[in-house]
Copies of this chain bind each other. A is one copy, B any other.
Amino acid sequence: MLKVRPLADDDLDALREVPLFSELPRQTMQGLLTGATVRRFGADTLLFNAGDKADRFFVVLAGMVRLFALDEEGQQGVMEIIFPVRSFAEAAMFGSGRYPLNAEAERGTTLVQIEGAGFLRQLRENPQLARDVVASLHQWERRLLKEICQHKFLSPAQRLSAYLLGLTSQENGEASLQLPLSKATIASRIGIEPESLSRALQRLRTIGVTCQGDQVRIADLDSLRRYCRGG
């Protein structure tokens, strides 16, 4: 169910995709990653709970990880989905020293796990690493800020539009894409109920967005962008 192995050379290459590591000399990376392990999860697995002591952080190599909050009735609200290749929970090791959210790895996910102690030690001595950490945290900050703006200024249907637009790299014209998550999860991600997602998708049909199963076709990206801005 769970396979653990030490870090291989291929993994180092993959890790260079992460902004946190991309600027570092390869040798520094190796020092940083002594003791790091690669884990593959055969089933959905809870990685940590909110409030747990944050003594490690992760990089997603394959699959996905859900970051979610729990209210007191146990209802979970998805805050973020981490896809390859990105790091997460790196911020929690500073300051509070506790994870602010819960994290669950999807079945089939592969993660690199990096111990915090060694990382913090290196951080003290390596100015370049410190700058990369700062830049990485800054990226998170921008992401969260954008999220807040979307919740404050956009209607649910507009948030859905923004989500869809974020799934494609195409610039304009037509686009086809596959939803990477169940609709219920997407609904939670953008802060609405599954029923409302259904109806929001209906409304988007009038501006050329069709959806069958997890296949979405956008007739004209620009008109969807226009809608997203309040057209």
Contacts and interface: CB of A to CB of B under 8 A. Distances in A.
Main secondary structure of the interface of A (DSSP, over half): helix
A149 B102 CA distance: 13
B142 A94 contact: no
Contacts of A123: 127, 130-131, 134
Contacts of A137: 91, 134, 137-138, 141
Interface string A86-120: 00000110111000110000000000000000000
Given A72-B229, A79-B149, A153-B77, A141 B191 contact: no
A163 interface: no
B94 A152 contact: no
B144 A69 contact: no
Interface string A118-148: 0000011101001101110111111011011
Query: Within the oligomer, what is the number of copies of this chain?
Result: 2
Contacts of A151: 148, 151-152, 191
A71 interface: yes
Interface in A34-74: 69, 71-73
A72 B141 contact: no
Interface in A172-194: 191
Contacts of A229: 71-72
